[in-house]
């Protein structure tokens, strides 16, 4: 049993089963033993690899898309350049280098990172130098906001409900003979349709965070790009654990595996609209990167001797790899041009 599993067993024994959201939050962010609190999980020797760790092209194109939005909106100065969940700081470093080609932009940027892990904060400072950190998106300054988030929303705690005879029963973590096990809480009413056995997921933090971001963009200008795996009105069990690049049961090694769930972009889009901003539909990552010239950039890097560039772009864009499962969605203010590569989403009133 991992040290964190022992703590969870004691807590459940004392006060009863916990929701998946509590379980996820403790496993990822426990102050001493949490997954992100204690380690740098990225890269081939870590547990998983993210797009910016695969090629610099990813961050460069994200940076240039935000740079175009900044120019389109009259080069506001100063502005917040924010990233929630920046990992090793690679994406921000690549964005800043690309933005350096735009006169005045990096000078006007106040880089602010939203990071819960003290360990990763230090990794980010070592990489990026003088940046500020805040605990929550709520703490971002009220000024023009240009924001990128890659694989941040999938780490936010989710709840799951399973359709049973007389309602929806929340899936909880309790104790069985061999330690932690999944169970069902007494059913409640939910305003959702579903067939017996169906599982639905809810990530209450995600639309709340999007609302904070979209409010700032609507009031002060700016743009946000959110990239993650997931879909639209997602349904089913997507709760997953990954350790050393392999999937394992989410209860197998608390604190030592990455826990995530697919991102449902529909409630995020609704939250952005309700906050008064424009939002795009989620575009497959492959389509978005190729529309911004990823292939031409790989070609240039290959000519300059980067032997891995073309293969890296293939990994990010091929539908059978990361190109289709990952989606990109953008937020921008009414009256401003869309962020490059995105079109405005129009929802029927009954959806919004």
**Could you tell me the smallest distance in angstroms from the CB atom of residue 17 to ligand SAH?**
22
60 touches ligand SAH (CB under 6 A): no
Q: Which is nearer to ligand SAH, 114 or 322 (CB)?
A: 114
Q: Which is nearer to ligand SAH, 122 or 233 (CB)?
A: 122
Number of Cβ within 10 Å of residue 3's Cβ equals: 13
According to CB under 6 A, which residues from 267 to 306 bind ligand SAH?
none
120 touches ligand SAH (CB under 6 A): yes
Using the rule CB under 6 A, which residue among 36, 146, 153, 168 binds ligand SAH? 36
**Could you tell me the smallest distance in angstroms from the CB atom of residue 7 to ligand SAH?**
19
Task: Kindly report the three-state secondary structure assignment for every residue of the chain.
Answer: CCHHHHHHHHHHHHHCCEEHHHHHHHHHHCCCCCHHHHCCCECCCCCECCHHHHCHHHHHHHHHHHHHHHHHCCCCCCEEEEEECCCCCHHHHHHHHHHCCCCCHHHHEEEEEECCCHHHHHHHHHHHCCCEEECCHHHCCCCCEEEEEECCHHHCCCEEEEEECCEEEEEEEEEECCEEEEEECCCECCCCCCCCCCEEEECCHHHHHHHHHHHHHHHHCEEEEEEEEEECCCCCCCCEEEECCEEECCCCCCCCCEEECCEEHHHHHHHHHHCCCEEECCEEHHHHHHHCCHHHHHHHHHHCCCCCHHHHHHHHHCCCCCCCCEEEEEEECCCCCCCCCCCECCCCCCCC
Q: Which is nearer to ligand SAH, 37 or 143 (CB)?
A: 37
Q: Which is nearer to ligand SAH, 269 or 316 (CB)?
A: 316
Using the rule CB under 6 A, which residue among 17, 52, 59, 144 binds ligand SAH? 52
Q: Which is nearer to ligand SAH, 42 or 146 (CB)?
A: 42
326 touches ligand SAH (CB under 6 A): no
Q: How many residues bind ligand SAH (CB under 6 A)?
A: 20
According to CB under 6 A, which residues from 79 to 118 bind ligand SAH?
84-87, 91, 114-117
Using the rule CB under 6 A, which residue among 96, 155, 211, 217 binds ligand SAH? 155
**Could you tell me the smallest distance in angstroms from the CB atom of residue 259 to ligand SAH?**
10
Interface positions with ligand SAH (CB under 6 A) = 28, 36, 42, 50, 52-53, 84-87, 91, 114-117, 120, 150-152, 155
């Amino acid at each position: 049993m991992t040290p964190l599993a022992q703590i969870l067993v004691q807590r459940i024994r004392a006060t009863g089963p916990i929701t998946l959201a509590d379980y996820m939050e403790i496993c990822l962010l426990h102050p001493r033993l949490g997954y992100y609190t204690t380690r740098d999980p990225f890269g081939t020797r870590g547990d998983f690899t993210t797009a910016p760790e695969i090629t610099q092209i990813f961050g460069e194109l994200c940076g240039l898309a935000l740079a175009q939005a900044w120019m389109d909106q009259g080069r506001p100065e100063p502005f917040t350049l924010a990233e929630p969940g920046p990992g090793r700081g690679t994406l921000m470093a690549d964005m800043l280098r690309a933005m350096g080609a735009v006169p005045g932009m990096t000078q006007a940027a106040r880089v602010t990172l939203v990071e819960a892990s003290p360990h990763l904060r230090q990794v980010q400072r070592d990489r990026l130098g003088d940046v500020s950190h805040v605990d929550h998106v709520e703490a971002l300054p009220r000024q023009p906001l240009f924001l990128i988030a890659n694989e941040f929303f999938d780490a936010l705690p989710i709840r799951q409900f399973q359709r049973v005879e007389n309602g929806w029963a929340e899936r909880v973590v309790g104790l069985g003979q061999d330690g932690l096990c999944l169970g069902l809480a007494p059913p409640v009413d939910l305003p959702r349709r579903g067939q017996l056995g169906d599982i639905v997921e809810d990530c209450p933090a995600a639309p709340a965070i999007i609302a904070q971001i979209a409010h700032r963009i609507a009031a002060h200008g700016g743009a946000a790009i959110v990239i993650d795996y997931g879909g639209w009105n997602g349904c089913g069990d997507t709760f997953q654990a990954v350790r050393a690049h392999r999937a394992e049961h989410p209860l197998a090694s608390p604190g030592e595996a990455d826990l995530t769930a697919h991102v449902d972009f529909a409630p995020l889009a609704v939250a952005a609209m309700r906050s008064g901003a424009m939002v795009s539909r989620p575009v497959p990552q492959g389509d978005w990167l190729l529309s911004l010239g990823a292939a031409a950039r790989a070609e240039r890097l290959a000519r300059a001797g980067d032997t891995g560039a073309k293969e890296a772009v293939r990994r990010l864009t091929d539908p059978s790899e990361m190109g289709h499962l990952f989606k990109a969605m953008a937020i921008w203010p009414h009256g401003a041009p869309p962020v490059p590569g995105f079109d405005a989403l129009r929802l029927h009133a009954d959806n919004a």
